[in-house]
A = this chain, B = another copy of it.
Amino acid sequence: MSDEAKRLEEAREQFVAQWGALGTQWGINRTMAQIHALLMTTAQPLGTDDVMEKLQISRGNAHTNLKELVAWGLVRVVVKKGERREFFEAEKDVWQIFTTVARERKRREIDPALGVLHQCAEDSRDMQTPEGKQFHEQMRQLEEFVGFASKVADRVAGMKHGFAIQLAAKMLG
């Protein structure tokens, strides 16, 4: 193996390890983040056994997290003709990754919060005491804000890269 190939291996391992650690902080399972990192930096699709070997994990673990990444929409299943097993390939376009994650997190984190807040605001709508009114008002404001965030997330997730850049440039300028 050439010197550069070795360096590339090292750099990739570095990236995989650190991305995994970051994933943990982000509330994402370490293995899932590591597989994603591995796949993002590999040109050709990998099979389950490749992933198991590179990350030194069990088949069950590799399988579960690969499928989870597919469920998130961050990884595609690729079938090679003449091959029976499945290969996996990560989306590599950064803006695409971002919108996918944004959509998914909105669905998993924002939408449920909205439900809770709406319910609580409803339940306290008619309260008369100062404490009751204050509670209702707080719920209402939270609901309003989160609903707003929800719309922004939809909007951003639906934008084309170019348009987002333009908007952001205006914002930062």
Contact = CB atoms under 8 A, between A and B. Distances in A.
Interface string A11-40: 110110011001001110000000000001
A95 interface: yes
Contact of A123 (B11, B120, B134, B142): B11
Contact of A116 (B18, B155, B168): B18
Contacts of A151: 172
Q: How many copies of this chain does one complex carry?
A: 2
A113 B10 CA distance: 18
Q: Counting chain B CB atoms within 10 Å of each CB, which of A15, A40, A113 scores highest?
A: A15
Interface stretch (A48-56, A62-70, A125-133): A125-133
A22 B132 contact: no
B8 A135 contact: yes
B27 A26 contact: yes
Given A14-B120, A22-B112, A108-B25, A138 B41 contact: yes
A168 to B, nearest CB: 6
B113 A22 contact: yes
Interface of A: 2, 4-5, 7-8, 10-12, 14-15, 18-19, 22, 25-27, 40-41, 43, 92, 94-95, 98, 108-109, 112-113, 116, 119-120, 123-124, 127-132, 134-135, 138-139, 141-142, 144-145, 148, 151-152, 155, 167-168, 171-172
